[in-house]
Chain A
Amino acid sequence: RKEVEQDPGPFNVPEGATVAFNCTYSNSASQSFFWYRQDCRKEPKLLMSVYSSGNEDGRFTAQLNRASQYISLLIRDSKLSDSATYLCAVKPGNQFYFGTGTSLTVIP
């Protein structure tokens, strides 16, 4: 079983829509969780860490559900500039494990 699994999409949504991504992880000992954004042919860039209590940064909200072992990312009022691939990452020990990414395209 993979350490981290994501729906690859693609998600095609109109501007202004709300979209949510989920990411499941297999290691219940995982302590740290992250969402990264990756643009085409570029390196991943940290979008936000995911804290137990959930956290929000502008239009982005991240949540953690330890009981069901998944993290989520909600994007409200989607902008064209949100088009990218979103990777989740989980850190159960010294290694980071990344999902394969979910592709988002925001359509005018």
Chain B
Amino acid sequence: DGGITQSPKYLFRKEGQNVTLSCEQNLNHDAMYWYRQDPGQGLRLIYYSQIVNDFQKGDIAEGYSVSREKKESFPLTVTSAQKNPTAFYLCASSIQGLNYNEQFFGPGTRLTVL
């Protein structure tokens, strides 16, 4: 089955710790994205990547880092510099280069900082 997987589904972290969220897709999509969703604020873009070994900051990149070493994988690290990391994190992917290239989402990771 083609799709996007994210792991873990739930993650608990102590303050001051870095944590890495996994995102893998087997849709052969070029573009991948990371969003966070907070109640009442919709989806906010953290980072996106249009091609392997390249990525751009989104609207709220501070305190986060990413890598894109493989087309299928786009892990997100939430660093200790992120002041309010508790949120629902969503990874998405899409075909690049077409106008109506819909985004498809993974099931998300709920991160809670204790």
Residues of A within 8 A of B (CB): 8, 31-32, 34, 41-46, 49, 51, 87, 89, 91, 94-96, 98-101
A-B pairs with beta carbons under 8 Å apart, 29 shown: A8-B40, A32-B99, A32-B100, A32-B101, A34-B102, A41-B88, A41-B110, A43-B90, A43-B106, A43-B107, A43-B108, A44-B43, A44-B90, A44-B105, A46-B103, A46-B104, A87-B42, A87-B43, A89-B103, A94-B31, A94-B48, A94-B50, A95-B45, A95-B48, A96-B103, A98-B35, A98-B42, A99-B42, A101-B42
Task: With a 10 A CB-CB cut-off, give which of A31, A43, A100, A101 has the most chain B CB atoms.
Answer: A43
- Number of B residues whose C-beta is below 8 Å from A? 26
Which chain B residues (82-102) contact chain A, with CB distance < 8 Å? 88, 90, 92, 99-102
Contacting A96 at CB < 8 Å: which of B41, B45, B50, B106?
B45
**Cα–Cα, bound, A49→B103 (Å):** 10
Q: Is the interface of A mostly helix, strand, loop or mixed?
A: loop
**Cα–Cα, bound, A82→B99 (Å):** 28
**A-B pair number, CB within 8 angstroms:** 49
Closest to B41 in A: A100
Closest to B107 in A: A43
Residues of B within 8 A of A (CB): 31, 33, 35, 40-43, 45, 48, 50, 56, 58, 88, 90, 92, 99-108, 110
Q: Which residues on the B side are within 8 Å of A45 (C-beta)?
A: 105
Closest to A8 in B: B40
Closest to B50 in A: A94
